[in-house]
Amino acid sequence: MNEPMIETRDLHRGYRVGEKSIEVLHGIDLRIGRGERVFLCGPSGAGKTTLLYTLAGLERPERGSVHIHGTDLYAMGRREQAAFRNREIGYVFQNYHLLPELTALENVAVPGAIAGRDATDAAFAALDRVGLADRAEHLPAELSGGEQQRVAIARAIVNEPKVLFADEPTGNLDSRNGAQVMDILMDLATEHGVTLVCVTHDLNLARMGDRTLVIRDGSIHPGGGDGIQSAV
């Protein structure tokens, strides 16, 4: 493997349900190379989204570490970590998470505003990259599901992150829009060297990546062929 962009060591994450403690991630060790396209598969409840959130700094693990580009994500304070995520990480949610009162352009510019700069030009360039420059002034309610997801991708890449996480990015889309969204994500990884980590239930999508990992019972197993089929 080339230089690791993401590395975890003994990663544990769980939840409490009443008096019961449920461990979701069981000591995960993982290395993902720079520019690698990795797809995470597994049955519902296996911990795919929990792992993605933990890798992205959105959920703190009970134990273990996450290094992004050599930086220990959970050794930083909240403010420092938020600035690091804003600068180095992009995240695409399944349900878009666009602000309904903002135009497409304004939604995409939000990460720049958080960083304290005017990102209007960068936001327009990101929209153009995903083929939506002509929809810049439309509100989310005026866009189709596929267009909203492309806006969400533009927002995720506006700060030119080194790592892009995507949680079921085609889960709410028809096959045509889903294929378009995946083409955009794969092109970003291939042409711009972005490291892509994508959760999906779609076996055909999983086979597009450089590597497929199956999450089962809180642990990671190499995927491929029947191994994917039996886990999804």
Average pLDDT, the chain: 89
The 10 Å Cβ neighbour count of residue 41 is: 26
Residue-level pLDDT at 224: 54
pLDDT attached to residue 225: 45
Q: Among 218, 183, 181, 212, which Cα is nearest to 199's?
A: 212
Judge whether 71 and 189 are in contact, CB under 8 Å. Answer: no
pLDDT at residue 232, as a whole number: 36
From residue 125, give the alpha-carbon distance in Å to each of 22, 87, 108, 196, 212.
Answer: 44, 17, 10, 20, 31
Report the range of poorest mean pLDDT among 31-40, 42-51, 67-76, 142-151.
42-51
Task: State whether the Cα torsion 47-52-57-58 is positive or negative.
Answer: negative
d(CA 55, CA 13): 11
pLDDT value at residue 226: 42
Give the position of tokens 């089962």.
Answer: 216
Categorize the per-residue pLDDT at 207 as very low, low, confident or very high, splitting at 50, 70 and 90.
confident
For the packed helices 145-157 and 120-129, what is the interaxial angle rounded to 10 degrees?
Answer: 130
| pTM greater than 0.85 | yes
Q: What pLDDT shows up at residue 178?
A: 87
Total count of residues recorded for the chain: 232
Q: Structural domains in the chain?
A: 4-231 (3.40.50.300)
The whole-number pLDDT of residue 15 equals: 83
Which residue(s) pair with 23 in the sheet? 14
Q: What is the mean pLDDT of the segment spanning 162-174? A: 92
pLDDT of residue 1: 52
3-state SS, residue 97: coil
Q: First and final CA of the chain: distance in angstroms?
A: 26
CA distances from 67 to 43, 75, 117, 177, 215 (A): 26, 10, 27, 33, 20
Structure tokens at 88: 């180095």
What pLDDT is stored for residue 79 in this prediction?
Answer: 92
| Three-class secondary structure of residue 31 per DSSP | strand
**Whether residue 227 has pLDDT greater than 70:** no
pLDDT tens digits for range 126-150: 999 999 999 999 999 999 999 999 9
pLDDT of residue 176: 87
Q: What percent of the chain has pLDDT over 90?
A: 66
pLDDT at 202 over 90: no
Nearest to 151 by CA among 162, 167, 138: 138
DSSP letter string over 137-168? Answer: T--GGGS-HHHHHHHHHHHHHTT--SEEEEES
pLDDT at 2: 62
- Residue 33's Cβ-count burial label (10 Å; 0-12, 13-18, 19+) is middle
- Tell me 209's DSSP state: S
